[in-house]
């Protein structure tokens, strides 16, 4: 894997819901100790990701305009994020949906609503299992 051995410090989280973004920011930075950058849309993520150079991208699946899978495809076209690991976050967790997200190249899927106290641990677990 291209990220093998990389330390997981910088997380980019893409979420269109402001309330969820606020909870995730606390969960990632205050509880999890990550350096986090939050984006409110896929288009913003495509703009911000190359400069931030995240170790991992958390992507909401259902967003207006550019959804999570479309955002992932756009990020894969950018040299700086071609191999950046991605975890989808979604309430849509039927087995067929999860299989679809994994087939797009996601490391894993975290169900929503997520537990802010365990989100960072879950991210680390998925990242380490597949690194």
Q: For the chain, what is the domain count?
A: 1
* Tens-place pLDDT, residues 7-45: 899 999 999 999 999 999 999 999 999 999 999 999 999
For residue 59, tell me if it sits in a domain.
yes
User: Which residue is listed with tokens 């896929």?
Assistant: 42
- CATH number, domain of 19, equals 3.40.50.2300
Asked whether the predicted pLDDT for residue 4 surpasses 60, the reply is: no
Q: Give mean pLDDT, residues 49-67.
A: 97
For residue 124, tell me if it sits in a domain.
yes
* Tens-place pLDDT, residues 107-119: 999 999 999 999 9
pLDDT band at 1 (very low <50, low <70, confident <90, very high): very low
Q: CB of 27 within 8 A of CB of 117?
A: yes
What 3-state DSSP class applies to 11?
strand
For residue 119, tell me if it sits in a domain.
yes
For residue 2, tell me if it sits in a domain.
no
For residue 3, tell me if it sits in a domain.
no
């Amino acid at each position: 894997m291209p990220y093998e051995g990389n330390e997981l410090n910088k997380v980019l989280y893409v979420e269109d819901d402001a309330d969820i973004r606020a909870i995730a920011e606390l969960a990632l930075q205050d509880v999890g100790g990550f350096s986090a950058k939050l984006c409110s849309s896929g288009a913003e993520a495509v703009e911000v990701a190359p400069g931030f150079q995240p170790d991992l991208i958390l992507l909401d699946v259902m967003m207006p305009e550019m959804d999570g899978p479309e955002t992932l495809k756009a990020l894969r076209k950018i040299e700086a994020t071609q191999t950046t690991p991605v975890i989808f976050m979604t309430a849509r967790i039927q087995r067929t949906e999860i299989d679809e997200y994994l087939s797009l190249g996601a490391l894993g899927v975290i169900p929503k609503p997520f537990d802010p106290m365990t989100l960072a641990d879950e991210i680390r677990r998925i990242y380490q299992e597949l690194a």
